[in-house]
Amino acid sequence: MSAASIPSMLEQLGIEHPIVQGPMTGSDTPALAAAVSGAGALGMLGCGMRSPARCRRPQAPCARPPTGPSA
């Protein structure tokens, strides 16, 4: 298989820009992750300092990002 046939990271993640918002518990918010995703990058939420229940709870702004994926 040639390198040309392997999808790029951008294609695999479905993003336009090679930017990943670092998940920083305490300073990240669902709105920030949604905005980053909406701008064509990969938005994330940190869960290191959040309880498992809090991480599983739906994050309304992230549930329907304007465009693009979020993690």
pTM: 0.65
No. of helices (H) and no. of strands (E), the chain: 4, 0
The number of residues in the chain equals 71
pLDDT string in tens for the chain (71-residue length): 455 555 788 888 888 888 889 888 778 888 888 888 889 998 888 888 878 887 777 665 565 545 555 54
The DSSP output letter for 8 is P
Question: So where are the chain's domains?
Answer: 3-63
Would you state the pLDDT for residue 62? 60
Q: Give start and end residues of each alpha helix (H) in the chain.
A: 9-13, 30-38, 52-56, 60-63
